[in-house]
Amino acid sequence: MSASAESVAQAFVQAINAHDIDALVELMSDDHVFIDSLGNSTRGKETMRKGWESYFRMVPDYRLAIDETYSMGDVAIMVGTAYGTYTTDGKLVPDNRWTTPAVLRATVDGGKVKEWHVYADNEPIRQLISKNRVQP
């Protein structure tokens, strides 16, 4: 029996919150697609491994807090909040903490996340990146 879309999506969020990149990659299908809030897509498990490694360096305390989950067939929708602290040097400065509402859509195939689509307002972190940009 295959795992439900909801249970796979919840495991994916747990791996994100634990910053467990090996678990994330294990939960991805071979043809995994990540779609960000601007509609940009990234394909492939190993490409996403590098992407998550980079993101966790930039936001070392990144977390998702899920308030509601809805599922139908192979799709799970999770509603909640994304939050963390942006850093360029690994130091967690309180002024660089951000939070934003988030919706995550997981399409699951064979117990793996085939597509992970993030719907969130990334303006809070964009402003922090801009504010912390080193001027020449």
**102 pLDDT higher than 70:** yes
Is 90 in a helix, a strand, or coil? coil
Q: What confidence tens digit (pLDDT) does each residue in 13-28 have? A: 999 999 999 999 999 9
What whole-number distance in Å separates Cα of residue 39 and Cα of residue 49?
19
pLDDT at 1: 37
The pTM of the full predicted model, rounded to 2 decimals, is 0.90
Our CA angle for 104, 110, 115, nearest 5°, is 30
Domains and CATH numbers, the chain: 5-132 (3.10.450.50)
Is 130 in a helix, a strand, or coil? helix
Q: What confidence tens digit (pLDDT) does each residue in 25-71 have? A: 999 999 999 999 999 999 999 999 999 999 999 999 999 999 999 99
